[in-house]
Structure 1
Amino acid sequence: MKSYLTLFLSIILFTSCLKDDVSCTPQTEDDIIEYIESKELATTESDSGLHYIIENEGTGKAATENSVVDIKYKAYLLDGTDNGESESSILNLETLIPGLSEGIQLLKEGGKATLIIPSELAFGEAGNSSGSIPCGTVLIFEIELIAVHDDYDAQNEAAILKYIDDNNLEATKTESGLYYVVNNEGTGEIPTSNSSVTVAYKGYFLNGTVFDESTVSGATFGLNQVIAGWTEGLQLFKEGGDGVLLIPYSLGYGEYGQGTIPGYSILAFDVKLISVND
């Protein structure tokens, strides 16, 4: 089952903010060697200092430093402390800590590896911005490279078109890349990009998992305060109208996601424009 928990990713995978006045005793290469010997592991060390074990190199497409990848992972510290896991996480290698990016590039699709990442290839002596990764911490990842998407915009588009076809929808595409279905155009006022509107909605991923839903009476907000796909999409309806918005990641929450919405997510919304309030 695909995981939509992105809290861990937002905490440890991306470049951290440096802290001032940090004092700690970083874990060193000696600590890594002690761990390797205690577990009787046969590791290889790269020129950068990354230690790794390749269980299976894989046979598909290889990742590059610019790739968007889908990985399965389990992360922990040298003392065994669990630091999260995911069955499927879509990530841009350009945004990851150096050790993880380097390690993923050792694999092809289907490949599996264990990475032992020294602190200088992770968050260094600063630790991460939330404090959940202490300063100077070595990180360990068990990873599986599920897929490599060198052109994720095209992958996003293909997934939307497949969803439209599978569900026999009559959808229209706008210049921005938004797809929409008008079930009922409505007869009232048309909102503008600055309007306050009341909308009843249900938001879900293409696999049907619901991530947000309003009450029947709807929620009120400004169209200048929401994701671009909503700002554009609601202007396609008049009061009383309803339909479906299929929003590519570029018009949604982008590469990084937000809350329970992972990066690169396509978002689907059933919407009904109840009223335009100004």
Structure 2
Amino acid sequence: MSITAVPLRPISKGSLSRLWIGVAAVALAAGGLAWAGQRGVADTPASFLASNAGEAGVVTTDSGLQYKVIEAGTGTSPSTADVALVGYKGALLDGTTFDENPQTAMPIDGVVPGFSEGLQLMKKGAKFRFWIPPQLGYGDQAAGPIPAGSVLVFDVTLHDFKSKAEIMQMQRQGGATPPPAP
């Protein structure tokens, strides 16, 4: 058996220094890219809402609810004495969907305050996006898949609404109430 010897050349002067400078440059570049990737990502609900308030078409109410009209509706708006037929998708700021329903009846006064306020701004056929701050949502309480202190993002379509009194009368007259027509 024969062994081939390969002579190793000595490292030239300054090569080790250049290697460490290269490692430092790569580390700085990685840190810079990580920082740039985080720009625009809100650290807190308050910082997100402050940034979002400046976006085109976003309206902030006195209570802090933010909304954007995607499609305007027609007619009148519901009140707290009404039951609305809505389609919605609820998500967190990171895009995680926590609830979705294409058509469901909801008493206006039976949902979180921000959702109730937003529904009362809509007209039949309208499509809105709501950004509900924690104080108008679930606050410091976790609710199922929704962490405490979360901003809730809803895409909502108001199909129709009827008064609770009208629904009660329909139930007395004919038993089950058919859902309002979309």
Displacement over 6 Å in runs of 4+: none
Q: Given residue 29 of structure 1, which amino acid in structure 2 is its aligned partner?
A: A
Which sections of structure 2, spanning at least 5 residues, go unmatched?
Answer: 1-42
Identical aligned pairs, as a percentage?
30
Of the three residues 127, 132, 136, the one matched with 1:117 is: 132
Q: Using a 3 Å threshold, how does the CA distance of structure 1 residues 155 and 86 change in structure 2: closer, same or farther? A: farther
Give, in whole Å, the separation in 1 of the partners of 2:79 and 2:72. Answer: 15
Q: TM-score, normalised by structure 2?
A: 0.66
Aligned position for 1:154: 169
**Structure with more relative contact order (C-alpha pairs < 8 Å, separation 6 or more):** 2
Tell me, what secondary structure is at the counterpart of 1:124?
coil
Q: Which amino acid aligns with 1:112?
A: K
How far 1:32 sits from its partner (Å)?
A: 2.3
- The offset of 1:145, in angstroms, is 0.6
Gaps of 5+ in 1: 1-25, 161-177, 179-247, 250-263, 266-278
Residue of structure 2 in register with 1:63 after alignment? 78
In structure 1, what is the Cα distance between the partners aligned to 2:71 and 2:169?
28
CA root-mean-square deviation = 2.4
Aligned to 1:21: none
Structure that is richer in helix per residue: 2
Displacement of 1:35: 5.2
Partner of 2:12: none
Deviation at 1:155, TM superposition (A): 4.2
- What amino acid sits opposite 2:113 in the alignment? P
Match of 2:140, SS? helix
Distance 2:140 2:120 in 1: 25
Aligned to 1:140: 153
Cα pair 1:59 1:111 within 8 Å, conserved: yes
Q: Within 1, Cα distance between the matches of 2:172 and 2:84?
A: 16
Per the normalisation by structure 1, the TM-score is: 0.44
Compare the two structures and name the one with the higher strand fraction: 1
SS of aligned partner of 2:89: strand
The alignment partner of 2:49 has SS state of helix
Q: What secondary structure is seen at the aligned counterpart in 2 of 1:147?
A: strand
Conserved? CA contact 1:72–1:145, under 8 Å:
yes
Distance between the aligned counterparts of 1:99 and 1:54, measured in 2? 15
| Offset of residue 41 of structure 1 | 4.4
CA displacement, residues 127-182 of structure 1 (integer Å, 9 cap, x when unaligned):
22xx3211001001110111111122234467x4xxxxxxxxxxxxxxxxx5xxxx
Return the alpha-carbon distance in structure 2 between the equivalents of residues 153 and 134 of structure 1. Answer: 36
Q: Report if the CA contact (8 A) 1:74-1:143 is conserved.
A: yes
Give distance in 1, aligned partners of 2:159 and 2:167: 14
1:74-89 to 2 correspondences below 5 Å: 74-89=89-104
